[in-house]
Structure 1
Amino acid sequence: MTPTLTADQVGAPLGARATLLQVSSAFCAPCRAAHRVLARVADAVPGVRHVDVDVADGPELAAALAVTSTPTVVVLDAAGAVVLRAEGVPTPRQVLGALALAVPEGSPSS
């Protein structure tokens, strides 16, 4: 069964089409790089939201996702279902590929 997360669990509204959920830590240099990539993609793709949660502020979420290293990136579809999960800094191409899995062809872009 694919895990599903709610806006309450994430701590922010989910994107209309998809959510790029990043679990980070304060002193993590790769987390800052991942944040830049994910924020850029979210700004460029309508209906996609980037949410960055620090493990210290969201230990329940980190535990639910079994986060063992930061950054951990989780792509959620519009309903909050986990479509893809990865550790480390993704490339924009990898993020766009993951969004293709999360956003069905022909879905609204709002």
Structure 2
Amino acid sequence: MPYRRRSGRARVRGRDEGQRLEAGRLGGELGERATLVQFSSAFCAPCRATRRILGEVAGMVPGVVHLEIDAEARLDLVRELGVLRTPTVLVLDAGGRVVRRAAGLPRKADVVAALGEAV
């Protein structure tokens, strides 16, 4: 997921790649093939657009689940994962391993491409 500073698009970071996250810590079940984890906040307009995009992708790709986490309610996880802004999206493989991370509003095509790394 590319980053364009002025357009508000997603910024890719490799910091957490390889780290495993368990379903219990995320508050939902992992997808059979991949999981899209979104960190959001209540008054974040890009978070609403990201929710729509990730929901559409999860609906299009069998075995993919979208989980949204309220960053303010899960400060422990936010600090552990170094989430600095919302929305932040983590792409997990079937085992819960982080394969991709991006901050900002992603494009649908970039999310689909990132899923290609996870499945």
Residues 5-52 of structure 1 show CA distances to partners (whole Å, capped at 9, x for unaligned) of: 000111100000000000000000000000000000001100000000
Aligned equivalent of 2:48, options 32, 45, 48: 32
1:100 corresponds to 2:116: yes
Moved segments of 4+, more than 4 Å: none
Partner residue, 1:70: 86
Corresponding position of 1:91: 107
Aligned residue pairs total: 103
Q: 2:28 aligns with which of 12, 21, 28?
A: 12
How far, CA to CA, are the matches of 2:75 and 2:29 in structure 1? 18
Deviations 1:65-99 (A, max 9, x none): 10000000000000000000000111110000000
- Percent identity, aligned pairs only, is 51
| RMSD value, Cα | 0.9
Q: Give the TM-score normalised by structure 2.
A: 0.84
SS of 2:69 mapped into structure 1? strand
The answer for unaligned runs of 5 or more in structure 2 is: 1-16
Aligned twin of 2:59: 43
Cα drift, residue 3 of structure 1: 0.7
Instruction: Show structure 1 runs of 5+ residues with no match.
Output: 104-110
TM-score, normalised by the number of residues in structure 1: 0.91
2: CA distance between counterparts of 1:60 and 1:6? 14
